């Protein structure tokens, strides 16, 4: 096997904000190489004998399967820990959980609600911690998105990406991912549902190094105009079920449909992190249509997270 870079060994992946453009490209290049090895059936057991502890306080399909399969393909093993399996935040502090798990496993992936819990876990752990999703950020998903975009477009810098919908964790991590890789991004969200101003400001600061243009608007047509990549997400994320009815009344103008994408570039690609609600944030004709690359995007969660684990652990 080709020797992997040690540049990121021992690091945490809490947010793409903490990674340089070159470090993100290293992850993407490693993901591409691991994908080739997997497709050729060549063993690539860079993590032989290592164990990943997977903490799930939010349920998941893609996150659990991709991390669990990924660590197996890398020669290691996964330990699934649901909220009913451990006392995280229920009788044992996050700090103590971090200290204990650091004595047992070689890395931790956590999918939870509060970003502060992930950061506290990483602060007290002596092993790498990977953010599998919080209400604020979803860095692993956006690394998979970047890998997919590069596969289809051959580059990242200079492209235009339009995100249409709720200014949620996907929008936040896309802002950092695009800023760091030179993709111009326009986010279109209704008033009251825009991305965090602090994150927008931090993304604009990061974009100074790459020349990426960061815009936040309310008009979805303005966002999608001449876009190379169109992205959306559900209108109400996990934990926001009580807001479903209110959001359903506000978000229909932000549906990605056949009329909206007429304003995009002729060769645009469509991304969605899944699960999708056809007929709400996107029509079936778009997500199941010829411009959709969501299944390649979902597959790339496996490859890019393998790269993250192999480089950090």
Question: Active-site positions?
Answer: 111, 138, 141, 233, 273, 301
**Residue 49: Cβ within 10 Å count:** 9
Secondary structure E strands in the chain: 51-56, 77-82, 107-111, 129-133, 160-164, 184-188, 214-217, 229-232, 269-272
Can you tell me which residue has the tokens 């899944």?
274
CA distance 282 to 271: 10
**Cis-peptide into 275, omega within 30 deg:** yes
Instruction: State the helix-helix crossing angle for 294-312 and 21-40, rounded to 10 degrees.
Output: 110
Helix, coil or strand: residue 95: helix
Among residues 191, 184, 143, the alpha carbon closest in space to that of 167 is found at 191
Helix, coil or strand: residue 162: strand
Q: 88-96 — which CB contacts under 8 Å span 24+ positions?
A: 88/55, 88/57, 88/117, 89/117, 94/120, 94/121, 94/124, 95/120, 95/123, 95/124, 96/124
Residue 256: both structure tokens together: 């990605």
Kindly report the CA angle at 13 between 10 and 16, in degrees rounded to 5? 135
Spacing of C-alpha 173 from chain mean position: 7
Among residues 132, 213, 142, the alpha carbon closest in space to that of 172 is found at 142
């Amino acid at each position: 096997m080709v020797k992997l870079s040690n540049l990121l060994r021992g690091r945490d992946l809490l947010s793409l904000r903490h990674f340089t453009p070159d470090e993100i490209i290293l992850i993407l290049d490693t993901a591409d190489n691991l994908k080739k090895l997997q497709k050729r059936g060549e063993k690539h057991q860079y993590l032989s004998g290592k164990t990943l502890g997977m903490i799930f306080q939010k349920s998941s399909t893609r996150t659990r399967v991709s991390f669990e399969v990924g660590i197996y393909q890398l020669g290691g093993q996964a330990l699934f820990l649901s909220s009913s399996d451990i006392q995280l935040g229920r009788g044992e502090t996050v700090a103590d959980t971090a200290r204990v798990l650091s004595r047992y496993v070689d890395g931790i992936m956590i999918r939870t609600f509060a970003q502060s819990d992930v950061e506290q876990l990483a602060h007290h752990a002596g092993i790498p911690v990977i953010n599998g999703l919080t209400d604020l950020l979803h860095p692993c998903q956006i690394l998979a998105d970047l890998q997919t975009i590069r596969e289809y477009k051959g580059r990242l810098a200079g492209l235009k990406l339009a995100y249409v919908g709720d200014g949620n964790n996907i929008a936040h991590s896309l802002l950092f991912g695009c800023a760091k890789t030179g993709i111009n991004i326009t986010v279109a969200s209704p008033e009251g549902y825009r991305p965090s101003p602090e994150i927008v400001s931090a993304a604009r600061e990061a974009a100074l190094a790459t020349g990426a243009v960061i815009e936040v608007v309310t008009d979805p047509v303005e966002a999608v105009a001449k876009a190379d990549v169109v992205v959306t997400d559900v209108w109400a994320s996990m934990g926001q079920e009580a807001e479903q009815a209110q959001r359903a009344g506000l978000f229909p103008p932000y549906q990605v449909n056949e009329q909206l994408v007429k304003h995009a570039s002729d060769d645009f690609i469509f991304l969605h992190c899944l699960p999708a609600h056809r007929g709400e944030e996107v029509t079936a004709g778009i997500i199941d249509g010829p411009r959709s690359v969501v299944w390649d995007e979902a597959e790339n969660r496996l490859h890019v997270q393998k790269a993250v684990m192999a480089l950090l652990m």
